[in-house]
Structure formats: structure tokens, C-alpha cells
């Protein structure tokens, strides 16, 4: 199957993060084992989702990992021109959920399984297909733990997130947070006799904005924006216009620069909420409270001038330097586990998570050419 064929096949699996990815993993494992790969799985606690790690070539340490996540973001409420899970070629573009983020890379890599198997590899080539990247990179730690337990230590990893095939050597981290605001119900004509959780949530969001300004003092000009950010993206609460809301929930995030601690930002937000906002609401409701819980947190990827992963990608693409991105990937987890990482894949992040997501067919071609160079390199003696 061609990269286009396989990408279309992968898009047909609805692997929205709230659903299982096992059907896609079964398909990929059958394909890879059919080409002669050695496969192993790691699971979520309920075993409704799986990571797949497959290896070609000599056993033991070393080798290059081709890494991609299998889950996609929801299509709910989006105005698609075609069925998001029935990939469609229009002109020079392939449309479908996950076309660029990131089934285009996974499909292209899988299409080369037989070619990898028929190459006399001096060093292994591995595939790492993960679950739940889109909800905070929460699946790949199980894969990395499994590799550690099995004593498998790859030399480097190429994460195929959409970069327009540019070499990306650093990205920000990410921390997802849920803050529950607890007040006391009462008639809205007497707000001093209760506490509106919605008003508490509003002040909390305003505080996050002020905290964001505070964080702008620490800058790295290689990123856009060049500082750690905080952002509230979902808020809910209240039952009626004339009732003080008993509960409201703010879902927010922090995207720290590499080397900065997102959890420290969460603690700062908690301290400010307790000291600056809560006292006013406790006057009418002594039980008023903020409850903040971290949903997920993944590390950034720091730019390493000596990274063998970056060096390989630069050599094979002919690029002069590695770039940086503000979004997060699983590369930070790989690097934290001691596996040098680089991001390079087909498509543009500007198309990700939108209606009518697409990848240009030329991008799939460029990715195929790049991966063929990776395979050829693995067949050569070590420099």
C-alpha cells in the first residue's frame, strides 16, 4: 500500500481520544508483523487503549524510532465539507481527521515496512505508536516504562508531528488544570449572603491573565510567543440568572518554556486564588473554596546542540538549523527518558484540530523520501 492508501485507511479508524484505538493498533500490528517486525504492547489501566512498539533489524540497544500518536481530536461542532473519517482527495490535498496530525506520518512510515524488512539493517528501526497524546501526552509514558523494563534503549527518536518537514529541535511543555470554584447558593438580590461560584471563576480567570503578564518577564526569543503562557479555555457553572451559583469549573492550561516548571505555575495560581480572591467570598460563605487538580503535564523539549537526533534530521533534510515550536509533543517525554528526540513530519500544524483538516500530497511525498533516507542510513555501518 502507498503512503496515501495507508493514510486513508488509518483515517477511517475513529480514534478520537475518548474512544479506543485498539482496532487501529490491531491493524498496524498485523501489518508490521507480516513484514517481520517484533511487536510488543503497553496499555492504559482499563486495557481499552494500547501503545505499539515494533522493531526491525538487530536486537539490542540503539536504532531509530519512528514515533506517532494514533489518537485524534474530536470533530464535534465542526463544519466539515466531507466525512472526516472517510478520507477524500481534492486537488493536491488529502482531507480527513488526522490527515496531518498525525496519520499522514504514521501511514507513510507503515507503508515502508516491507522496504525496512528487506534492508540489511546495521542498526534497528523501531515504530512507536501511542495513545492519548491529544489529551496531554498521557499514553507514551507507559510505552517508555515498558521499554525500560524490557531493557530496550533506542539511540534516538523522530516524532512525526506536522512541521512541513522542517527540523524542530525544541518545544514548550504543557500542564492541563481543572479548578473547581465552590460557593453557596442564595438569591441573587443578596450576594453578600452567599457566594457566586461563577463570580469566583471570573476573578480566577482574571487572575490567570495577570499571572500570564507576570510570566512574560522570563523570555526565550526562539519561541513564539517567547514566554510561558497561561490560558483558560473552558468554563461552566450556574443554574439560573437569579441564583448565586454553587459551583463553577475553569479548565485552563500552562505552556512553559523548556526547563521551566509548569507545576510551579499551578502552585502560584493556587496561592494567588487563596490570598487575593477567596477572603471576599468567605464573608458570605465560610465554606467557599478553590479546588485545583492537575489533569496532565508533559515536559518541554530543550534545544540540545549536541543531539544526535537533531544532527541526523539536519543531515538528511539538508537544513541548516533546527527550529522551535510553541505546541507540545511526545518528544519531551522521550528526551526525559534519555532518548534524544527531534520533530519532523508532513503537513502544517495550522491545519490541525480544524474542520477540513488536510495534508498536501507533496508533503507525504517529502516524508516518504525523508524516511527512505533514514532507512538507508540504518543500513550503513556506524560512522
DSSP string, 152-163: ---SEEEE---S
Q: Please state, rounded to an integer, the average pLDDT across all residues of the chain.
A: 97
Q: Is 225 buried (19+), middle (13-18) or exposed (0-12) by CB count in 10 A?
A: middle
N- to C-terminal Cα separation, the chain: 33
* Distance, CA of 292 to CA of 195 (rounded, Å): 18
Contact predicate 212/277, CB 8 Å: no
* Distance, CA of 370 to CA of 120 (rounded, Å): 18
Nearest in space to 5 (alpha carbons), one of 81, 101, 112, 82: 112
- CA 133-231-354 angle, to 5 degrees, is 50
Plot region of 164 (φ>0 → left; ψ -120 to 50 → alpha; else → beta): left
Is 90 exceeded by the pLDDT of residue 29? yes
Tell me the pTM. Answer: 0.92
Which of 57-61, 269-273, 359-363 is predicted with the least confidence, judged by mean pLDDT? 57-61
Contact predicate 24/72, CB 8 Å: no
* Topology given in CATH for the domain delimited by 174-298: Alpha-Beta Plaits (3.30.70)
Q: What's the pLDDT at 242? A: 97
* Distance, CA of 16 to CA of 3 (rounded, Å): 21
Three-state DSSP at 30 gives helix
Gyration radius of the chain's alpha carbons: 23
State the cell numbers at 371: 524516511
Is 90 exceeded by the pLDDT of residue 39? yes
- Residue 343: alpha-carbon gap to chain centroid: 12
Active site residue 71: yes
Q: How many CB atoms lie within 10 A of CB 332?
A: 24
Give residue-wise pLDDT tens across range 238-295.
999 999 999 999 999 999 999 999 999 999 999 999 999 999 999 999 999 999 999 9
Helix, strand, coil % (nearest 5) of the chain?
35, 25, 40
- Residue 99: alpha-carbon gap to chain centroid: 15
Active site residue 133: yes
Catalytic one of 101, 132, 133, 220:
133
- Alpha-carbon dihedral sign for residues 148, 151, 155, 161: negative
Nearest in space to 354 (alpha carbons), one of 12, 83, 88, 73: 73
Is 90 exceeded by the pLDDT of residue 358? yes
Average pLDDT of span 345-370: 97
Find where cell 516524532 sits.
159
Average pLDDT of span 81-87: 98
* Distance, CA of 369 to CA of 95 (rounded, Å): 21
* Distance, CA of 165 to CA of 218 (rounded, Å): 30
Q: What's the pLDDT at 382? A: 75
Is 80 exceeded by the pLDDT of residue 230? yes
Is 90 exceeded by the pLDDT of residue 137? yes
Is 90 exceeded by the pLDDT of residue 383? no
Longest pairwise C-alpha distance within the chain: 79
Average pLDDT of span 221-228: 96
Is 80 exceeded by the pLDDT of residue 120? yes
Average pLDDT of span 37-41: 98
State the cell numbers at 278: 477567596
Catalytic one of 71, 253, 304, 363:
71
Average pLDDT of span 323-339: 96
Domain map (residue ranges) of the chain: 3-171+299-378, 174-298
State the cell numbers at 41: 504492547
Is 70 exceeded by the pLDDT of residue 31? yes
- Residue 336: alpha-carbon gap to chain centroid: 15
Give residue-wise pLDDT tens across range 289-320.
999 999 999 999 999 989 999 999 999 999 99
Q: What's the pLDDT at 77? A: 95
Residues 6+ apart with CB under 8 A from 190: none
Give residue-wise pLDDT tens across range 158-180.
999 999 999 999 999 999 999 99
Nearest in space to 33 (alpha carbons), one of 95, 93, 110, 103: 110
Three-state DSSP at 78 gives coil
Q: What is the CATH number of domain 3-171+299-378?
A: 3.40.630.10
- Alpha-carbon dihedral sign for residues 342, 361, 326, 336: negative
Amino acid at each position: 500500500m502507498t503512503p496515501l492508501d495507508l493514510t486513508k485507511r488509518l483515517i477511517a479508524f475513529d480514534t478520537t481520544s475518548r474512544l479506543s484505538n485498539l482496532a487501529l493498533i490491531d491493524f498496524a500490528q498485523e501489518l508490521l508483523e507480516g513484514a517481520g517486525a517484533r511487536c510488543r504492547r503497553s496499555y492504559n489501566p482499563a486495557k481499552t487503549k494500547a501503545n505499539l512498539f515494533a522493531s526491525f533489524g538487530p536486537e539490542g540497544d540503539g536504532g531509530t524510532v519512528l514515533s506517532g500518536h494514533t489518537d485524534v481530536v474530536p470533530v464535534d461542532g465542526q463544519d466539515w465539507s466531507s466525512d472526516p473519517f472517510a478520507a477524500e482527495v481534492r486537488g493536491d490535498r488529502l482531507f480527513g481527521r488526522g490527515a496531518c496530525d498525525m496519520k499522514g506520518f504514521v501511514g507513510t512510515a507503515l507503508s515502508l515496512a516491507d522496504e525496512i524488512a528487506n534492508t540489511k539493517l546495521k542498526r534497528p528501526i523501531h515504530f512507536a505508536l501511542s495513545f492519548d497524546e491529544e489529551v496531554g501526552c498521557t499514553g507514551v509514558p507507559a510505552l517508555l516504562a515498558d521499554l525500560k523494563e524490557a531493557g530496550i534503549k533506542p539511540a534516538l527518536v523522530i516524532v512525526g508531528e506536522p512541521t512541513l518537514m522542517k527540523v524542530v529541535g525544541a518545544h514548550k511543555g504543557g500542564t492541563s488544570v481543572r479548578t473547581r470554584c465552590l460557593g453557596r447558593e442564595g438569591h441573587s438580590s443578596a450576594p453578600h449572603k452567599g457566594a457566586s461560584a461563577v463570580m469566583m471563576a471570573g476573578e480566577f480567570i482574571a487572575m490567570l491573565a495577570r499571572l500570564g503578564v507576570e510570566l512574560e518577564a522570563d523570555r526565550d526569543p526562539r519561541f513564539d510567543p517567547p514566554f510561558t503562557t497561561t490560558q483558560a479555555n473552558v468554563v461552566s457553572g450556574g443554574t439560573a440568572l437569579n441564583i448565586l451559583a454553587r459551583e463553577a469549573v475553569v479548565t485552563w492550561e500552562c505552556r512553559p518554556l523548556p526547563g521551566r516548571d509548569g507545576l510551579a505555575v499551578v502552585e502560584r495560581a493556587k496561592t494567588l486564588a487563596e490570598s487575593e480572591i477567596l477572603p471576599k467570598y468567605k464573608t458570605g460563605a465560610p465554606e467557599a473554596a478553590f479546588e485545583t487538580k492537575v489533569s496532565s503535564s508533559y515536559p518541554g523539549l530543550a534545544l540540545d546542540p549536541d543531539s544526535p537526533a537533531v544532527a541526523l534530521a539536519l543531515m538528511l533534510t539538508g537544513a541548516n538549523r533546527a527550529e522551535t515550536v510553541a505546541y507540545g509533543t511526545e518528544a519531551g517525554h522521550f528526551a526525559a527518558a534519555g532518548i534524544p528526540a527531534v520533530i519532523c513530519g508532513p503537513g502544517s500544524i495550522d491545519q490541525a484540530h480544524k474542520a477540513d483538516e488536510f495534508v498536501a500530497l507533496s508533503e507525504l511525498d517529502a516524508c516518504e523520501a525523508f524516511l527512505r533516507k533514514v532507512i538507508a542510513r540504518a543500513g550503513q555501518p556506524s560512522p
